[in-house]
Amino acid sequence: MGRDSDRPVPDHGLDQPNPAPLVAMRGITKRFGSVTAVTGADFDLHSGEIHALLGENGAGKTTLMNLLYGLEQPDDGTILIDGDPVSFRSAHDAIEAGIGMVHQHFQLVPRLSVAENVILGAGEGRRIRLPDLTEVAETVEELGRRYGLGVSATSLVTDLSVGEQQRVEILRALYRGARILILDEPTATLSPVEIDHLIEQLQGMAGTGTAIVMITHHLDEVMTAADRITVLRAGVNVATLPAETTSPLELARLMVGREVAMLSEVGEAEAAANRAGSTSAGVSVLTLQDLSSASEAGARGEHARDFFDVSLEVRASEIVTIAGVEGNGQAELEAVLCGLSEPASGRIHLGRADVTDAAPRELLDAGVGMIPSDRYRHGLIRGLSVAENLVYDRIDKPPYGRRLWIDPKAVAARGADLVGRFSIAVRGPSTAASTLSGGNAQKVVLARALGTDLQLLIAAQPTRGLDVGAIEFVWNQISEQRDSGVAVILITTDLNEVIALSDRCFVIYRGRLVETPLDREAIGLAMGGAGSRAEGVPAR
């Protein structure tokens, strides 16, 4: 397995005794207070290559690239571009040197056009006139044709799909003259079809000489797209190797320092057989009947992300997955299921009880565990300690407290217990939640949700942004809940996660739900809209 064999191998000078990289980072160290994020790291990037940068959460990947892009300055080490030392004081300096960066969370203004977003921030303070925008639009569309990133330059960003918005971010970097392109988690919100298209586009750009860095956790995409791979662990470069000489299992081992047995690595058929032999669905736990939402935008007739006539049943000892690309209504469905908003129509039953209008507190008391998709907005209070976060959903109940009284010893004891059980990497339960890496923040949310007896678990994007080791941990925890008799509804954009965990799968597309066979191609096509009306099996 490896990169596209039809793409010309870039001339990195690897057979020469002294190859000359386009970018050379030597002995880079970066500290944030008492924490050293990157330690003496080396990194090379050559013209015309796609270089994947891997590592666990907190390994220093994004920090290293932020240093290259001028968002941070190194404490030690040297950065060379074309062999010349550089010292970037800001991202503007890096842009002037031909470096562009596309962040995981897009930095676009939805109500502006593509052309306006491209020129935004590049005018150096001068007033942008209409003729300027016309010229910008023509240039953007020409760049789109050249690199296979076609998008209408006059369209409003709010009307574009997630994949098209990503193209705008890449086109903005290219418009500003980027010959070095850094992509932070570029496939995190894309459908499988969009991912394939993006990889083709990146390979085409590399074929013209553009140097590309992909920061990612998705090993299968790395093996398909990358020429070389660098692995960071705890801020140290532990390996740089050609993609064609390695494997996903070896990369996972390098990332976490141990063997990682991911369900997705043993093959879909074997994973499905294992699931079929280990569980047997029981009584109905959750029933949704003709559930619909209605946003304020939808009422005005604007582009909305509602869901319509959703009906399904989730039974004890099964995982029912709702897969889909972001923006198709799953976030709104999650909010209704967790009691954060009310449906416009339809009913929700937990067992025989009607919980359509139940508040989150009532659902928690009824044995519903919640892993929210936005861990920082709905799952974590960063101003509290880890221990306080682990019990804040039951802080008013013995032994932790009642009404106006809290027992700090009971809170600390519970925190210490869950920190140990869920391998949360902190100095102690009194550690501030604001200091946690993404992976450890997710473990806190997971530990709180699973640290009590449940009858239903709602897990929304439970591994978003996590490294391979943390993903394995989360998958095992969710599987254990299912095997112990809990009904699980899993909302995810990750196709590997769907295949690895699902007993049954639905795909949500433009707010409509269809049941889909547990087949990678069928699910991927449905996530992209193909077959959303005809090929799916009616939900039951």
The side-by-side arrangement of strands in the sheet containing 50-55 is 99-102, 180-184, 211-215, 50-55, 228-233, 236-242
Yes or no: say if 326 and 350 are a contact pair by the CB < 8 Å rule: no
Yes or no: say if 53 and 60 are a contact pair by the CB < 8 Å rule: no
- pLDDT at 371 > cutoff 80: yes
Cα–Cα distance measured from residue 163 to residue 229, given in angstroms and rounded to the nearest whole number: 24
DSSP H helices, 235-341, are 248-256, 268-278, 296-299, 330-337
**What 3-state DSSP class applies to 333?**
helix
pLDDT band at 81 (very low <50, low <70, confident <90, very high): very high
The residue among 145 and 272 whose pLDDT is bigger is: 145
The third-level CATH classification (topology) of the domain covering 1-7+19-98+179-260 is: Rossmann fold (3.40.50)
Burial label, 34 (beta-carbon count in 10 A; 0-12, 13-18, 19+): exposed
Per DSSP, 437 falls in state: -
- Domain(s) labelled CATH 3.40.50.300 in the chain stretch across 1-7+19-98+179-260, 268-380+436-527
Per DSSP, 376 falls in state: I
Yes or no: say if 313 and 298 are a contact pair by the CB < 8 Å rule: no
130: Cα separation from own chain's centroid: 37
Per DSSP, 422 falls in state: T
Structure tokens at 489: 């509804």
What's the CATH superfamily of 268-380+436-527? P-loop containing nucleotide triphosphate hydrolases (3.40.50.300)
**What 3-state DSSP class applies to 36?**
strand
pLDDT band at 532 (very low <50, low <70, confident <90, very high): very low
Q: Name residue, tokens 């996530």.
A: 527
Yes or no: say if 123 and 141 are a contact pair by the CB < 8 Å rule: no
Query: Which of 205, 237, 241 lies closest to 222, judged by CA?
Result: 241
398: Cα separation from own chain's centroid: 37
Cα–Cα distance measured from residue 178 to residue 182, given in angstroms and rounded to the nearest whole number: 10
Q: Name residue, tokens 């994007």.
A: 461
Q: What is the pLDDT at residue 75? A: 96
Determine the length of the chain. Answer: 540
pLDDT band at 4 (very low <50, low <70, confident <90, very high): low
For the chain, what is the mean pLDDT? 85
Cα–Cα distance measured from residue 437 to residue 465, given in angstroms and rounded to the nearest whole number: 10
List, for residues 255-296, the tens digit of each pLDDT value. 888 877 654 444 554 455 555 545 566 899 999 999 999 654
Structure tokens at 38: 């990157």
Per DSSP, 452 falls in state: S
**What 3-state DSSP class applies to 102?**
strand
Q: What is the pLDDT at residue 123? A: 54
- pLDDT at 329 > cutoff 80: yes
Yes or no: say if 482 and 263 are a contact pair by the CB < 8 Å rule: no
Query: Which of 144, 510, 480 lies closest to 330, judged by CA?
Result: 510
Cα–Cα distance measured from residue 450 to residue 481, given in angstroms and rounded to the nearest whole number: 8
List, for residues 92-120, the tens digit of each pLDDT value. 999 999 999 998 778 899 899 999 999 88
**What 3-state DSSP class applies to 287?**
strand
Yes or no: say if 175 and 140 are a contact pair by the CB < 8 Å rule: yes
Query: Which of 393, 287, 294 lies closest to 341, judged by CA?
Result: 294
Cα–Cα distance measured from residue 251 to residue 219, given in angstroms and rounded to the nearest whole number: 8
Q: What percent of the chain has pLDDT over 90?
A: 55
pLDDT band at 309 (very low <50, low <70, confident <90, very high): very high
